[in-house]
Amino acid sequence: MILPEPLILFIVLAPGLVAAIAGCFQRFIGDKVAMIITTATVGTAGVLSLFQLFGYAFGGHHGDGHHHFQHVIHLARWIDVGQFQANWAIRVDAMSIVMMAVITSVSGLVHLYSWGYMSDDPHRARFFAYLSLFTFAMLMLVTGDNLIQIFFGWEGVGLASYLLIGFWFHKDSANSASIKAFVTNRVGDFGLALGIMAVFFVFGTVELEPMLEAIKENTFEHVAPIMAFAEGVGPREAAIEFLGMRLYALEVIGFLLFIGAMGKSAQFFLHVWLPDAMEGPTPVSALIHAATMVTAGVYLVCLLSPVYEFAPVASGFIAFIGAITALYAATVGMAQNDIKRVIAYSTCSQLGYMFFAAGIGAYQAAMFHLFTHAFFKALLFLGAGSVIHGMHHEQDMRKMGGVAPYMKITYAAMLIGTIAIIGLGVPHTQFGFAGFFSKDAIIETAFAAGIKGVSFAQMAFWFGIIAALLTSFYSWRLIYMTFHGPMAEADHHDDHHEEDEHAGHAADGHHDHGGKPHESPIVMLVPLIVLSIGAVFAGFFFYDSFVGHHQADFWSGAIYAASDNTVLADKYDHHHGGINPGWVFYAPLVVTIIGFLIATFTYLFNRGLGARIAAKGGPLHSMFANKWYFDELYQATFVNGTKKLGDFFWKVGDKKIIDGLGPDGLSGLARWGAARLSAMHTGYLYHYAFVILGAAAVFGAVILINVTGAN
Amino acid sequence: MGEFALLSIIIFFPALGALLLLALRKFVVSDAEGVESEARIAFMTGLFVSAATFFLSLIALAYFQPAQEGFQLVEDFAWFGGQADDAGNIVGGIRYKLGLDGMSLLLVLLTTFLTPLCFLASWGSIKHRVTEYVAAFLFLETLMLGVFCALDMMLFYVFFEAGLIPMFIIIGIWGGAERVYASFKFFLYTLLGSLFMLLAVIAMYLQAGTSDIVELQTVIPQIFAVEDGKFGVQHLLWLAFFASFAVKLPMWPVHTWLPDAHVQAPTAGSVILAGVLLKMGGYGFLRFSLPMFPEASLYFQPMVFAMSVIAIVYASLVAFRQTDMKKLIAYSSVAHMGFVTLGIFSFTETGIQGAIFQMLSHGVISGALFLVVGVIYDRMHTREIAFYGGLVTKMPVYAAVFMLFTMANVGLPGTSGFIGEILTMVGSFQASSWAAAGAALGVIFSAVYMLTLYRRTVFGVMTNEKLDGIKDLTRTEAIVFAPLIIATIVLGVFPALIFDITETSVAPILAAFSGLIG
């Protein structure tokens, strides 16, 4: 069912080890060795993790179905102060098995892909070291058995993301983007850190098992003497004092931790860093900013399902933010022309789906979409990278077009990715691409939860439906603009903006700049093919395990549903024990086809119509194209506000008030002293100081002798 | 009684070395090429003496029993005053008493660990009056070690105040252009703070008849007991000590001497200032304020929390706007010391353990950051951030080292910076969620100013042609950074090494509060 301990240790720790070797000793081992050891290690870990996932899902029952099935490997002591215990550990349960498979398999493929994509970059060893470092941090995140190790991984992936977004450090835009990503994530971490503190305050521990058990068993009044609540009251009613208010403890914790999740998973308000993160090399976008890191927030919420099951307000907030993000990002995605930014907003939107699923209590569906999304979104990004590579680092879709004949495999892979993300499939059957199974599961659960009256579930359903239409539209728009129609003007390299250049390009001056688009090398195509298989079959294979009839056995207590949460069973129609009306199952398909038709009409049959609509503009288009002006708003408020406040504290607070009234206010004295000192600073100062010391000592001694004599 | 006076040897070994160096300088050739050989001999001596001191303090570590409560390696001799008891031994009065608990042991180790690195780091950059420079640092080391080892209040006071003098001299002689203003500000601030403390010390001695810190910790809370929570003498004494420690730490709003002192001090001076001298304030709170004035400490908790949170937010924002690298890091120090006071005054085990850890960690990280600045200052003689940019292309190893300490200063988990921050915040949350939330804002701002600094100096394209010939780390510089890197990561991954040692010294402090907080 699960792998033997040494293999699990290998999966989690070996990427960290090779990252350290490739990073610290790159000068001695050279690029090739660094690339070989990192790729081989992570690739092996990927194979092992996938093997484990299949073995776990199809290898029989786990535990008794009531207790959380998990295996914890203790590695070492970490923080051990009183009750505050956080040790290095690897937790293997359904949640981490799924995540390990996603992380290492996508990461292994991205490592391989980077052999081609980064082939002319002078800093390849550093790049591969960062990739492996990321993989290690992400694995530590998903296998932690306490919130502090999760925080370690959380910030570790943030570091790797920062380093990789800013990988081409000579680019100003890349530097800005990397700082923006790190700082925005830190805003989220502010909430996460406070949430962890609140957890310790309430539960007296930061370890997951005792904390979550206390909620499930409703025993946490024993560990939290600070709140005496009446007997027979559930965990929902436990209250704490927070910022002067008396609030429900689990709501506070749930809300604070979700702020962390919002930052990492680029949810509305804290999403601004993700599109800019596309400054990083494309393999990075595929691994970190699509398949794995940005899903950490979803993972966290699902991992802490017991908290959210008893925090209806916080859950409602999650559903609300998730639904808004799903729709918001889709609207912006329609109006972008940079191929990577379209996919970035698409990621943002899909993460919104995952969150509203978690917010309405369908954690399994959220995890399922996380799982399938990883494959098809990594596929789309790597496909886009293949196009960018083939087009000599052109990213503007307006300058592409008609490349399908030159890049047949890439084109096929992108088509598969697109069909997977729009979720094409036949309702009530097992025929469909990965997205069909997971996205429709989310939409169906949302409707069922809406019937049951779960907060924001109805809104989530409708937003999800509209976003599905937009998803279909912008995904096909991407395909048509990139692969179909006539080639754009041949001189597209001459006027491409500076930010499209990168180090490898600059270093490799004799690279064939002109010429036609070319298909990418085999090392880049193999990952596309493997991910295509995932994008087609991941949903079909795992539907029953994740959200279908075997879900209780599959999750084995790793995800908790309160007794009144039956949303997974409700999502079926009346014939299958659910409560959904029949049309709900066809709604996603219908809107997907509508989106497809509109895109086909505007971007394939009437090529240029889309561009004309964009040129005409109108307020709605400008709003979408300018991402609803979030960057401008944040620049005007937070960024400038921080600068002004900093200047004020410095120039008024420190200089005028504190120094003005303090030391400089005694300027007469100071000047007198300074004059003395400068007169003496030829070396006599030294003696002078000893005179002071001597005098002080004598003086002190006299006083003390008198004092003690008096006694 | 210490069997072989190990602590006295540790404390006075550097001073002895300094005296020998000063006495024997005449015998070193003093002709034209003699200046260079004098410098070499002085640095060699300094390095040897401080390395030997570090080795001696490792012996103390080996002798130390972490599980044993109370002070160890104690040396106790009557000094002034006191009365003879029946057996003829002098009791009470002012004593020469030394001893270590876990907390002071670690601060001793921090001091002896950083001092040799300072000599290595100054080797190329200090060129005049080298013998005096080395001697001043060795004297300073003796005084700092004395502060952490003293178990007599008067003895502590002497070391505590005398420590000012060598630092004053180091800034005043080997400092930058405005060294006189800076050293004077430094002296004025800290001396004024200390005068109040001296008054309190005398008052306490008069009442208690002893200045033995261990005895005072039990006697003083009884003598100056607080009745019905009324403001009384204990509160005044607390304030007097607070004045001194708050300046030393420094806390907002008495922090403005620190940026000036740092900017003007030579690199090694900044390392010691940030690395060790600031810690005397935190150490003072834990040795005096909390155990001796528990009710008053509790009474002033909201004030200290407010000052700490303001320090964190305010100093971080000011740091963000600095154009001078050293000033930026100095303000960052103010912010990080805010976590120390926050943790100490949470009166919880997590908070206080975290505060001690934060002191040690900050000693290593801020010391390293000042060295990082020193490396390029030595090459270019400017600390203006705008002067630099694109250093990574010419100095990749330097860039990696700088990145590591940037992340440590930002409190990235896995580095020592994280442990102290999270524990002090967790501790303060128990007392006040407001304080914890305010402090957590610092987590955001530290990322803002450190990453901006890094980006402007290291990343980007090198446009300043004066930087063309800039060289990467020398072998000596790499040797200086190596132990600091190891310490930052080892403490970040295995902090239990520290907590196992400090645990028994925190327990009695908490015991004083067990009856006071519910």
Residues of B with CB below 8 A from A79's CB?
Answer: 419, 423, 495-496, 499
Instruction: State pLDDT tens for residues A145-163.
Output: 999 999 999 999 999 999 9
Interface of A with B in 76-115 (CB under 8 A): 76-84
Please compute the mean of the pLDDT values over residues B259-286 and round it to a whole number.
Answer: 94
CA-nearest of B471, B332, B356 to B423 is B356
**Residue A145 to chain B, least CA–CA distance (Å):** 16
Q: Is pLDDT of A234 > 50? A: yes
Kindly determine whether residue A148 and residue B422, on different chains, have CB atoms separated by under 8 Å.
yes
CA A577 → CA A267, A421, A458, A574, distances in Å? 34, 28, 21, 5
Instruction: State pLDDT tens for residues A502-557.
Output: 444 443 333 444 567 888 999 999 999 999 999 999 999 999 999 988 888 899 88
Tell me, what's the pLDDT at A513?
Answer: 46
Tell me, what's the pLDDT at A214?
Answer: 86
Please compute the mean of the pLDDT values over residues A607-636 and round it to a whole number.
Answer: 81
Indicate the pLDDT class of residue A616, thresholds 50, 70 and 90.
Answer: confident
**Residue A686 to chain B, least CA–CA distance (Å):** 7
Tell me, what's the pLDDT at A176?
Answer: 93
Tell me, what's the pLDDT at A503?
Answer: 41
Indicate the pLDDT class of residue A491, thresholds 50, 70 and 90.
Answer: very low
Q: Determine which of A646-660, B19-33, B363-377, B417-431 has the lowest per-residue pLDDT on average.
A: B19-33
**Percent of chain A with pLDDT strictly greater than 90:** 60
Query: Checking DSSP bridges between strand A84-93 and strand B72-80, what pairing results, if any?
Result: unpaired
Give phi and psi for A167, each to the nearest 5: -60, -40
Coil, strand or helix at A640 = helix
Question: Which amino acid is it at A513?
Answer: H
Q: Is pLDDT of A662 > 80? A: no
Indicate the pLDDT class of residue B330, thresholds 50, 70 and 90.
Answer: very high
DSSP B445-459: HHHHHHHHHHHHHTS
Tell me, what's the pLDDT at A141?
Answer: 96
Determine the residue of chain B that is closest to A670 in CA distance: B184
CA-nearest of B402, B420, B403 to B411 is B420
Coil, strand or helix at B237 = helix
Instruction: State pLDDT tens for residues A96-139.
Output: 999 999 999 999 999 999 999 999 889 999 999 999 999 999 99
Tell me, what's the pLDDT at B513?
Answer: 86
Pairwise pLDDT comparison (A61 vs A514), residue with the higher score: A61
Tell me, what's the pLDDT at A701?
Answer: 60
DSSP B46-73: HHHHHHHHHHHHHHHHHH--TTS-S-EE
**Percent of chain A with pLDDT strictly greater than 70:** 86
Tell me, what's the pLDDT at A498?
Answer: 40
Instruction: State pLDDT tens for residues B146-195.
Output: 999 999 999 999 999 998 889 988 988 898 888 888 887 887 788 778 88
Indicate the pLDDT class of residue A217, thresholds 50, 70 and 90.
Answer: confident
Tell me, what's the pLDDT at A228?
Answer: 47
Query: Is A382 in contact with A528 (CB distance < 8 Å)?
Result: yes
Q: Determine which of A253-267, A421-435, B359-373 has the lowest per-residue pLDDT on average.
A: A421-435
Q: Determine which of A250-254, A285-289, B460-464 has the lowest per-residue pLDDT on average.
A: B460-464
Tell me, what's the pLDDT at A405?
Answer: 87
Please compute the mean of the pLDDT values over residues A397-416 and round it to a whole number.
Answer: 90
Task: Say how many CB pairs under 8 Å bridge A and B.
Answer: 205
Tell me, what's the pLDDT at A665?
Answer: 65
Please compute the mean of the pLDDT values over residues A394-410 and round it to a whole number.
Answer: 88
Tell me, what's the pLDDT at B31?
Answer: 55
Tell me, what's the pLDDT at A237?
Answer: 75
Instruction: State pLDDT tens for residues A689-701.
Output: 555 666 666 666 6
Query: Checking DSSP bridges between strand B83-84 and strand B72-80, what pairing results, if any?
Result: unpaired
State chain B's mean pLDDT as an integer.
90
Tally Cβ neighbours within 10 Å of residue B433.
21
ipTM: 0.93
Residues of B with CB below 8 A from A154's CB?
Answer: 413
State chain A's mean pLDDT as an integer.
86
Interface of A with B in 131-150 (CB under 8 A): 148
Interface of A with B in 243-282 (CB under 8 A): 243-244
Indicate the pLDDT class of residue A358, thresholds 50, 70 and 90.
Answer: very high
Name A328's Cβ contacts closer than 8 Å, sequence gap at least 6. A268, A271, A348, A349, A352, A628
Place of tokens 């099935």: A69
**Residue A223 to chain B, least CA–CA distance (Å):** 14
Name A550's Cβ contacts closer than 8 Å, sequence gap at least 6. A544
| Residue among B189, B257, B358, B444 with most chain A CBs within 10 A, to mutate | B444
pTM, to two decimals: 0.91
Tell me, what's the pLDDT at A706?
Answer: 55
DSSP B337-405: HHHHHHHHTTTSHHHHHHHHHHHHHHHHHHHHHHHHHHHHHHHHS--BGGG---HHHH-HHHHHHHHHH
Give phi and psi for B515, each to the nearest 5: -80, -15
Tell me, what's the pLDDT at A504?
Answer: 41
Tell me, what's the pLDDT at B317?
Answer: 94
| Residue among A17, A28, A79 with most chain B CBs within 10 A, to mutate | A79
